[in-house]
Structure 1
Amino acid sequence: MTEAFVASLPLGAVQAAATTATSLGKPEMATDALHQLVLAQLDDDQAQEIVTIPLEGKSSIADHMVIASGRSTRQVASMAQKLAEEIKKAGFGHARIEGLPAADWVLIDAGDVVVHLFRPEVRTFYNLERMWSFEGGEPTQGRA
Structure 2
Amino acid sequence: MALVLQSLDDDQVQELVVIDLEGKSSIADFMVIGSGRSTRQVAAMAQKLGERLKQGGFGHPRIEGLPAADWVLIDAGGVVVHLFRPEVRSFYNLERMWGFDGPSGAA
Same fold per superposition (TM over 0.5): yes
Moved over 4 A (4+): none
Counterpart CA distance in 1 for 2:18 and 2:56 is 20
Query: Of 37, 44, 68, which aligns to 2:10?
Result: 44
Deviation at 1:139, TM superposition (A): 6.1
Residue 117 (1) aligns with residue 78 (2):
no
Residue 129 (1) aligns with residue 103 (2):
no
Structure with greater strand share of residues: 2
Q: Residue deviations 1:30-79, cap 9 Å, x none? A: xxxxx111111100000000000000111100000000000000000000
Which residues in structure 2 correspond to 1:10-25 (within 5 Å)?
none
Q: Which runs of 5+ in 1 are unaligned?
A: 1-34
Counterpart CA distance in 2 for 1:139 and 1:58 is 18
Identity %: 78
2:25 alignment counterpart: 59
Structure with greater helix share of residues: 1
The count of aligned residue pairs is 103
Counterpart of 1:61, as a letter, is: I
Assess, with a 3 A threshold, how the Cα gap between structure 1 residues 63 and 54 changes in structure 2: closer, same or farther.
same
CA contact (8 A) 1:52 1:139 kept: no
2:45 alignment counterpart: 79
1:99 alignment counterpart: 65
Q: Which protein shows a greater Rg?
A: 1
Q: Which runs of 5+ in 2 are unaligned?
A: none
TM-score between both structures, scaled by the size of structure 2 = 0.92
